[in-house]
Structure 1
Amino acid sequence: MRARDANLIARLILEGFIDYRQQFKAITRQAPGYFAAADWHALQCLSVERIDRYEEMIDGISEKIVSLSNDGIPKPELWLLIKECYTEVLNQRSDAELGETFYNSIYCKLMQHSNISDRHMFIQSKKPKVEAYRGEQIFRRYALNEGVPSFLKKLFEDYGFSIPWENKRRDSRNLMRYIRNTIPDDVVAGEGTVIEVIRSVFYRNKAAYIVGRVQFDHQSVPFVLPVLNTEGAGVYIDTALSDENDVSVVFSFTRAYFLVDVDIPAEFIRFLHSLIPMKSIAELYNSLGFYKQGKAEFYRDFMDHLDASTDQFEVAEGTKGMVMTVFTLPSYPVVFKVIKDRFSSSKNITRSGVINKYQLVKRHDRAGRMADTQEFVNLVLPRKRLSAELLCELMSVACSSITLSEDDLTISHLWTERRMIPLNIYLNEMLSKSDEESVYLAINEFGKCIKELAAANIFAGDMLFKNFGVTRHNRVVFYDYDEILYLTDCNFRDIPEPMYPEQELASEPWYSVAEQDVFPEEFKILTACDSRIRIIFNELHGDLLTLSWWINIQQKVASGALLDLYPYRRIVRFPRAP
Structure 2
Amino acid sequence: MKLSAAYRLAATILHGFDEYRTRFRAITRDASRRFRDAAWREAQQASAARINLYDDKVAATLGRLQRTFQAEVLTHCECWREAKAHYAELIDQRLDYELAETFFNSLFCSVFHHRHIRDDWMFVYSSRDSAPRHSGICLTRTRRVAGDWVGALHWALGEARLETPFDDLERDARLGADFLVGHLPAMLRDADDTEMELLESVFYRNKGAYLVGRLRGGAEQLPLALPIRHGDGYGEEAGASEGLHLDTVLIEPEEVSIIFSFTRAYFQVDTQVPGECVDFLQELMPDKPEGELYSAIGFYKHGKTEFFRGLNRQVAKREDRFVIAPGVRGMVMAVFVLPSYRTVFKIIKDRFDPAKEVTHQVVRDKYQLVKCHDRVGRMADTQEFSNFIARRDHFDPECLDHLLEVAPSTVSLRDDKVVIKHCYVERMMTPLNLYLEQCDAAETRAVLKDYGNAIKQLAAANIFPGDMLLKNFGVTRHGRVVFYDYDEICYLTECHFRRLPRSHAAGQGEPAEPWFSVGPDDIFPEEFGPFMVANPELRALFTELHPELFDPDYWQGLQRAIRDGKVIDVTPYRDKQRFVETAAPTH
- The TM-score by the shorter chain falls in which range? over 0.9
TM-superposed CA distance for 1:538, in Å, is 1.4
1:576 to 554, 560, 583: 583
Separation (CA, whole Å) in 1 of partners of 2:369 and 2:443? 32
1:461 aligns with 2:461: no
Q: Is the 8 A contact 1:503 1:509 kept in 2?
A: no
* Residue type of the alignment partner of 1:474: G
What residue in structure 2 maps to residue 372 of structure 1?
Answer: 381
- Of stretches 564-573 and 63-72 in structure 1, the one that deviates more from structure 2 is 63-72
Separation (CA, whole Å) in 2 of partners of 1:94 and 1:128? 14
Q: Is the 8 A contact 1:2 1:78 kept in 2?
A: no
1:60 aligns with 2:65: no
Q: Is the 8 A contact 1:9 1:82 kept in 2?
A: yes
* Aligned pairs for 1:120-199 within 5 A: 120-130=121-131, 133-134=134-135, 137-145=138-146, 147-159=148-160, 161-199=162-200
Paired residue secondary structure (1:399) = coil
* 1:197-216 deviation digits (Å, cap 9, x = unpaired): 00011000011101010122
In structure 2, the CA distance between the partners of 1:84 and 1:481, relative to structure 1 (3 Å rule), is same
What residue in structure 2 maps to residue 89 of structure 1?
Answer: 90
- Identical amino acids, percent of aligned pairs: 42
Paired residue secondary structure (1:84) = helix
TM-superposed CA distance for 1:499, in Å, is 5.0
Q: Is the 8 A contact 2:188 2:221 kept in 1?
A: no
1:272 aligns with 2:273: no
Separation (CA, whole Å) in 2 of partners of 1:420 and 1:479? 9
5+ long unaligned stretches in structure 2: 235-240
1:482 aligns with 2:487: yes
Separation (CA, whole Å) in 1 of partners of 2:522 and 2:63? 43
What residue in structure 2 maps to residue 18 of structure 1?
Answer: 18
- Of stretches 258-267 and 517-526 in structure 1, the one that deviates more from structure 2 is 517-526
* Aligned pairs for 1:318-357 within 5 A: 318-357=327-366
1:234 aligns with 2:276: no
Separation (CA, whole Å) in 2 of partners of 1:529 and 1:186? 51
What residue in structure 1 maps to residue 406 of structure 2?
Answer: 397
* Aligned pairs for 1:492-503 within 5 A: 492-498=497-503, 500=505
TM-score, with length taken from structure 2:
0.94
Aligned residues: 573
* Residue type of the alignment partner of 1:356: D
Separation (CA, whole Å) in 2 of partners of 1:104 and 1:570? 43
TM-superposed CA distance for 1:123, in Å, is 0.7
1:102 aligns with 2:103: yes
Paired residue secondary structure (1:331) = helix
Separation (CA, whole Å) in 2 of partners of 1:311 and 1:128? 27
* 1:498-531 deviation digits (Å, cap 9, x = unpaired): 355889443x433322222111111011355223
Q: Is the 8 A contact 2:187 2:217 kept in 1?
A: no
TM-superposed CA distance for 1:66, in Å, is 1.0
In structure 2, the CA distance between the partners of 1:478 and 1:131, relative to structure 1 (3 Å rule), is closer
1:246 aligns with 2:264: no
Q: Is the 8 A contact 1:458 1:485 kept in 2?
A: yes
1:9 aligns with 2:9: yes
5+ long unaligned stretches in structure 1: none
Separation (CA, whole Å) in 1 of partners of 2:215 and 2:558? 41
* Residue type of the alignment partner of 1:330: P
Aligned Cα root-mean-square deviation (Å)? 1.8
Separation (CA, whole Å) in 1 of partners of 2:314 and 2:23? 35
1:295 aligns with 2:304: yes
* Residue type of the alignment partner of 1:340: K
Separation (CA, whole Å) in 1 of partners of 2:214 and 2:488? 42
Q: Is the 8 A contact 2:147 2:190 kept in 1?
A: no
What residue in structure 2 maps to residue 563 of structure 1?
Answer: 568
* Residue type of the alignment partner of 2:214: R
* Residue type of the alignment partner of 2:459: A
TM-superposed CA distance for 1:154, in Å, is 2.3
* Residue type of the alignment partner of 1:535: A
- Of stretches 45-54 and 235-244 in structure 1, the one that deviates more from structure 2 is 45-54
- Of stretches 527-536 and 512-521 in structure 1, the one that deviates more from structure 2 is 527-536
1:516 aligns with 2:517: no
Separation (CA, whole Å) in 1 of partners of 2:552 and 2:156? 48
Separation (CA, whole Å) in 1 of partners of 2:214 and 2:378? 27
* Residue type of the alignment partner of 2:270: D
Q: Is the 8 A contact 1:325 1:394 kept in 2?
A: yes
